[in-house]
Homo-oligomer: A and B are copies of this chain.
Amino acid sequence: MVTLADVARVAGVSKTTVSHVINATRFVSADAVQRVEEAILSTGFRPNPYARALRTATTQTLGFVSSDISNPFSTAVMQGIEFATSRAHHTLLVANSRDDPQLEEQAIDALEQRRIDGLIIAMSPNSSETVLHRIKDFSVPVVLVDRDAPLPVDRVIVENVEAVAELIDLLLEQGHTRIGVIAGEERHNTSAERVRGWRLAHERRGLTVDAADIHFVGPTAHDAQEATLDVLRSAAPRPTALFTTNSTMTQGTLRGLREAGLSLPRDMSMVAFDDFEWADLLSPPLTCLAQPTFDIGVNAVQLLLDRIGDATLESRTVRLDPELRLRSSSIELPVG
């Protein structure tokens, strides 16, 4: 392995000078610069990041704890993170918590031990108190993604309430008066906010909502499927439209609808939070609210890098808007 000392020898200068030309950290004569650069080329020298990290206590490394690597939303966000990270000449360390608080703690620990310069985390809705503390006292800056928590850190979130209100308003406009909602777990702030958007849309039109139309269910598609079946079986006047708060819920709901033999949009209108690659290939194509996933990732990295650069910054929150993808899964309700 070729080291800085080798380069110095070949170039006929001191290690100091080599270090300074590499890092552009003090003036070096043009002549010396050239000899060093040639020496680097001829020897194929690559600085050892570990030696550098040891010396500078900075690693040019960012960590990302994904709440669930198998979730397309997470991987989409990760793309943005990876892009912005490598653009900044940093490296990305990835860990997965699988929404398990214990794994989450371990992941955070492992990254901290790796001396990352900053952490991006999509907290699990199950996060334990311990995790909250770990984050509060984390050795380096942390950015929260898509989650709320009473923590004094930067975060990038999505404007759930207003966006959903507009989506639901579409349905209201079409004459739907009972819109069932199949939502993820209530303690998950995104689920709660999206339901709030649903409520807000009604209130703005002076409509009262029936809490019985809200179905907070477990985290799996299967839970949503069961809930959908329940809704359809219930004696009360059946909703004429359904709203799902994330793509996992959408999957389950769609399966439930099919199991019940209902077809969209004739028997039931539907709109969903989260867009996905196949949404336009369903029958009918599904109207969705698409999250700006890539941007979420890029912004998270930016916030992190900014704070690493200046720890005294005020906590900032970047709020991004989802985008409506109007397709054809909901229809005007016939009058009467």
Contact = CB atoms under 8 A, between A and B. Distances in A.
B50 A115 contact: yes
A247 to B, nearest CB: 9
A93 B92 contact: yes
Contacts of A282: 278, 281-283
A34 interface: no
Contacts of A278: 251, 276-278, 281-282
A265 to B, nearest CB: 13
A79 B96 CA distance: 8
A1 to B, nearest CB: 8
Contacts of A69: 75, 78-79, 82
Interface string A275-312: 01110111100000000000000000000000000000
B94 A94 contact: yes
Interface stretch (A51-59, A149-157, A163-171, A177-185): A51-59
A28 interface: no
Copies of this subunit: 2
Contact of A277 (B59, B115, B251, B281): B251
Contacts of A113: 46-47, 49
A92 B91 contact: no
Contact of A96 (B57, B82, B280, B281): B82
Nearest 10 Cβ contacts at the A-B interface: A278-B278, A50-B53, A283-B283, A75-B75, A50-B50, A50-B54, A46-B113, A69-B79, A94-B94, A254-B281
Interface of A: 1, 46-51, 53-54, 57, 59, 69-70, 72, 75-76, 78-79, 82-83, 86, 91-96, 107, 110, 112-115, 251, 254-255, 258, 276-278, 280-283
